[in-house]
Chains A and B, each alone.
Chain A
Amino acid sequence: MADNTNTNPQLTGAEILWATLVGEGITTVFGYPGGAILPAYDALRKFPIHHVLVRHEQGAAHMADGYARASGKVGVCIATSGPGATNLVTGIATAMLDSIPIVCITGQVSSKVLGTDAFQEIDITGITLPITKHNYLVTRAEDIAPTLRQAFQVATTGRPGPVLVDITKDAQQATAPFDFAAAAPTEHRPHPMLRADSSAMQDAIELIKNAKRPVILAGHGIIESGARAQVIDFAERRQIPVASTLLGLGAFPTYHPLSLGMMGMHGEAWVNNAIQQSDLLLAFGMRFDDRVTGNLAKYAPNAKKIHIEIDPAEINKNVKVDVALIGDLRKVLDTLLPLMPKNSDASWIKEVDAMKGNASVRDIINLPDNGHLYAAHVIHDIWAEALAANRLLQTIIVTDVGQHQMWEAQYYKHDALRSLITSGGLGTMGFALPAAIGAKAACPEKDVWVIAGDGGFQMTAAELSTIQQEKMAINIAVINNGFLGMVRQWQEAFYDKNYAESPILSPNFVALAAAHGIAGAHVSKRKDVTAAVTQSRTSGKPFLIDFQVEKEDGVYPMIAPGSGLHEMVRRPAANPLLETAEDV
């Protein structure tokens, strides 16, 4: 589009908007039209951009988010002013708390009437100020291209995050010369970085060399910085076991002998115990969220801590660290690795392995069929089916929020990067279905599974219609337990089983899918799980399976609020059949 002569084409602001997105490499956007964004929609067809029409703008933001998480590229969503813009809010906040690069474009009333409470005027830059990395109000056509390009830069550099660009209707309608190259953002202010000669580097090396019981805490930052190879190299060279955060799952392959699995509130006992007994924690691109530390006063009391993190504001926020290495994880590890001597002492690894005890023997998924279907069965069998079909590296699981999400994290073995998409920081119910649409749009060749609870699925079930309109072969597993399961589990544990408003009535999900022209099946026996999963995966069309599982099952281990990481609540002993973790 760029023209090197001084006769750059005069385009409308609306055309500039799309042309800039095309220039940024965007091929798909998720959105919903309305008055203040209509000039943009009017120009849409002239550009090679596929627009996915959502059923609720929250879905558009989650789709952009799912697109970004699946592809590593920026996801883009678009909405009109007022209610269109406010509907985006939950989706933007979800992306903010998980550091996901999305660009949200909203229409705004004309600049002439800004601030007059005009029809569908809302101060969306004000509303989203604390839930965006940055946002902009654009009132002139000539500012659209530079602002959008800057938005892409802000979304992707440093610690990624959502950026909102609010564009007035008159800016979309006015004309301006368009020059994509000239609209490139000026050099970005520098991100805080570790100086190569920093004494912190030396301190870190000393701590690592002297550690006898180190544990790597693998976070989402590994995925964002592309440091998987470096982390594997590091762990192998020093023989350090690797525990993952929820968003770090997939960053370090599960099949690796040094992989421990997920840590934290619902982490397996040996993972949390290894952390509590460790003498050095290496936090790689993670932020010591309260869900992974438990009671801070009791957290890894004998461990020194090294924090490698791109965002200086995370240093010493929750956990006081001994050494902070600030910068892009991959670059820091690249500097650190050549200075790390090899270590072949496997005694700590053996000790950690021994902590696993007979957990796997007693695990529900390995016990004989008792006629009941457990969520753990379903998740394990979805994983096993993909493994058997040699599709594991081509499968993306998108979860909703609740018990099923934690079981997913425990029972699905994530080997591939970006193979798990889940709302960690905000814990947004209703995330799974729209985020899966975004993931499928980014990776049409992959098998995409939605795993959602009966509660969360109903929050955004309207997007079934989007799936059908887009003809997307998405697999949907509803883990149907008749309860807002995670709420029920908390009521069972902490509120004397007072199940206030946690039982939930659901429609016949298969019939609901059918109403959208989507095929489906009910499954209530373990023996039927795999066949249904295969049928769905190979149908080449969207497919919904309603898994009717054990109603009052619980996720264990579990750390009660205020407890230390090692003070895990185990499955009640009365029913040993249901033990899902180490039985010490």
Chain B
Amino acid sequence: MLHTFVALVQDKPGVLTRVASLFRRLNINIVSLTVGESERADTSRMTIVCEAPDTAAHRIRASLYKLEITVDVDEVGRSEGVIRELCLIKVAAGPSEPNGLHSRSQIFELAQVFRARVVDLAPESIMLEMTGSSSKIEGLIQVLRESNYTILEVSRTGRMAMRRGKHTSRVLKALGTPNGNGPTNFTPPDFSTDEIIPNEFPDVHEEE
């Protein structure tokens, strides 16, 4: 099943290798991994999506926390969090395309339905930008293909996840303050037995 982990890690050289190396050692395939700045100085936020047996979740989370560069780890289930991905799609849309001169208007229509944006127009192609759940993105790509458009390039960021609601994030709680900086009364993550039961969440397409 798919697991989505959020890890707050130190922003230092080599940190990505350490995280990636952990998954390599556990022989677990990373489906996507996004890294960027977080609300906290010197701390990056990673969202790691991986395919692993459901029983592996606890071990992955605990192993991630074992890395010295890790500040905290959380596993976010679909129902608990908002999971989004950004995608750029370049579609061939010149006069020689199957739909000829109508190409462009059809693509504009599809984009509108999927709430994608046109971010580049060239004589032979159109670039779309779309944010959403993975299933939405896959939906748009599929429709384009089924309408006989040639997809020239796809670039997806991989998923980012955040728990819903104010302060519900275990990550935020661990940081101790609402804005996440400043001194903390740091609570260690609770790895007690009830958490050994992995967060079960169905791998189904999520509605917007």
Judge whether B199 is part of the interface by a CB distance below 8 angstroms: no
Give the residues from 53 to 77 in chain B that come closer than 8 angstroms, CB to CB, to chain A: 55, 58-59, 62-63, 65-71
Judge whether A46 is part of the interface by a CB distance below 8 angstroms: no
Chain A, 167-195, contact with B by CB distance < 8 Å: what is the 0/1 string?
00000000000000000000001111111
Judge whether A323 is part of the interface by a CB distance below 8 angstroms: yes
CB distance from A176 to the nearest CB of B (A): 20
CB distance from A127 to the nearest CB of B (A): 12
Q: In the complex, are the beta carbons of B59 and A133 less than 8 A apart?
A: no
Chain A residues within 8 Å of B59, by CB: 313, 316-317
Chain B residues within 8 Å of A125, by CB: 14
Q: In the complex, are the beta carbons of A326 and B17 less than 8 A apart?
A: no
Q: Which of A198-206, A244-252, A452-460, A503-511 lies at the binding interface?
A: A198-206
Chain B residues within 8 Å of A194, by CB: 192
Q: In the complex, are the beta carbons of A312 and B62 less than 8 A apart?
A: yes
A562 to B110, CA, bound (A): 59
CB distance from B40 to the nearest CB of A (A): 13
Chain A residues within 8 Å of B55, by CB: 316
CB-nearest residue of chain B relative to A163?
Answer: B68
CB distance from A100 to the nearest CB of B (A): 16
CB distance from A327 to the nearest CB of B (A): 10
CB-nearest residue of chain B relative to A326?
Answer: B191
CB-nearest residue of chain A relative to B186?
Answer: A190
Judge whether A55 is part of the interface by a CB distance below 8 angstroms: no
Judge whether A382 is part of the interface by a CB distance below 8 angstroms: no
Q: In the complex, are the beta carbons of A190 and B187 less than 8 A apart?
A: yes
Given contacts A192-B62, A313-B59, A324-B193, 18 further A-B contacts (CB under 8 A): A129-B17, A130-B21, A134-B68, A134-B69, A190-B188, A190-B189, A192-B191, A200-B192, A203-B193, A312-B58, A313-B62, A315-B58, A315-B62, A315-B196, A316-B55, A317-B59, A324-B192, A326-B191
A129 to B25, CA, bound (A): 11
A-B residue pair count with CB separations less than 8 angstroms: 66
Tally of contact residues, A, Cβ under 8 A: 28
Chain A residues within 8 Å of B191, by CB: 192, 312, 315, 324, 326
Q: In the complex, are the beta carbons of B71 and A129 less than 8 A apart?
A: no
B binding-site residues for A, Cβ under 8 Å? 14, 17-18, 21, 25, 55, 58-59, 62-63, 65-71, 186-194, 196
CB-nearest residue of chain A relative to B64?
Answer: A313
Q: In the complex, are the beta carbons of A154 and B25 less than 8 A apart?
A: no
CB-nearest residue of chain B relative to A194?
Answer: B192
CB distance from A70 to the nearest CB of B (A): 26
CB distance from A501 to the nearest CB of B (A): 31
Judge whether A311 is part of the interface by a CB distance below 8 angstroms: yes
A495 to B62, CA, bound (A): 40
CB distance from B51 to the nearest CB of A (A): 19
Judge whether A126 is part of the interface by a CB distance below 8 angstroms: yes
Chain B residues within 8 Å of A134, by CB: 67-69
A290 to B65, CA, bound (A): 24
Q: 22 interchain pairs (CB within 8 A)? A: A129-B21, A130-B21, A130-B25, A133-B68, A134-B68, A189-B71, A189-B186, A190-B189, A193-B188, A194-B192, A198-B193, A199-B192, A199-B193, A203-B193, A311-B62, A311-B66, A313-B62, A315-B196, A323-B193, A324-B191, A324-B192, A326-B192
CB distance from B85 to the nearest CB of A (A): 29
CB distance from B31 to the nearest CB of A (A): 22
The 6 closest A-B CB pairs, nearest first, are A190-B188, A312-B62, A313-B62, A312-B191, A134-B68, A192-B191
A326 to B191, CA, bound (A): 7
Chain A residues within 8 Å of B14, by CB: 125, 137
Chain B residues within 8 Å of A326, by CB: 191-192
A154 to B21, CA, bound (A): 19
A194 to B63, CA, bound (A): 17
Chain B residues within 8 Å of A190, by CB: 186-189
Chain B residues within 8 Å of A312, by CB: 58, 62, 65-66, 191
A200 to B195, CA, bound (A): 11
A125 to B13, CA, bound (A): 12
Q: In the complex, are the beta carbons of A199 and B62 less than 8 A apart?
A: no
Chain A residues within 8 Å of B192, by CB: 194-195, 198-200, 324, 326
